[in-house]
Amino acid sequence: MQNLRILALDHGTVRIGVAISDELRMIAQPLEFVPAEPFAAFVTRLQTILREKPASLILIGMPRNMDGSYGPAAAKVRDFIAALQPLVTVPIKTWDERLTSAQAHRSLKEANVRQKDRKDKIDKMAAAILLQSYLDVATPPTP
């Protein structure tokens, strides 16, 4: 059976949140966060994750302003994708990530996760929210 998992990345300048779907592309689950720098170490970790949990797509959150325009954060993500693309064999796609970090923060607060523990969970939770929004909208149910 072809592996249909999708790996999602929530790009940040300090940390990159990672989430993965199940093989049916129905459920996103937070995986981990990886330090964004040094970039070579991030790529090594990403390649290890892809070996352990093969994916057919890498979904990267594209920050947009509330009016739909792109700002400086989007330019950083485009530069990140340009640097990453030649180093992975999996196709990369972007997805609107507006409000994912705020939603992740709110979800963790509602779950009574302590403030000091939220920092370790926010990035991977934002990646999972990004991925779930993609799964809910963009992936047809598998037969």
Q: Where are the beta strands (DSSP E) in 14-143?
A: 15-21, 28-35, 57-62, 92-96
Residue 56 lies in a domain: yes
Q: Predicted confidence band at 10 (pLDDT cuts at 50, 70, 90)?
A: very high
Residue 1 lies in a domain: no
* Coil, helix or strand at residue 123: helix
The domain containing residue 90 runs over which residues?
A: 6-138
- CA 134, 139, 141, 143 dihedral sign is negative
The count of domains in the chain is 1
Does residue 118 contact residue 108 with C-beta atoms inside 8 Å? yes
Q: What's the predicted TM-score (pTM) here?
A: 0.84
Does residue 21 contact residue 27 with C-beta atoms inside 8 Å? yes
Residue 143 lies in a domain: no
Q: Predicted confidence band at 2 (pLDDT cuts at 50, 70, 90)?
A: low
Q: Which two tokens stand for residue 44?
A: 């090594």
Q: Are strands 28-35 and 15-21 parallel, antiparallel or unpaired?
A: antiparallel
Q: Predicted confidence band at 3 (pLDDT cuts at 50, 70, 90)?
A: low
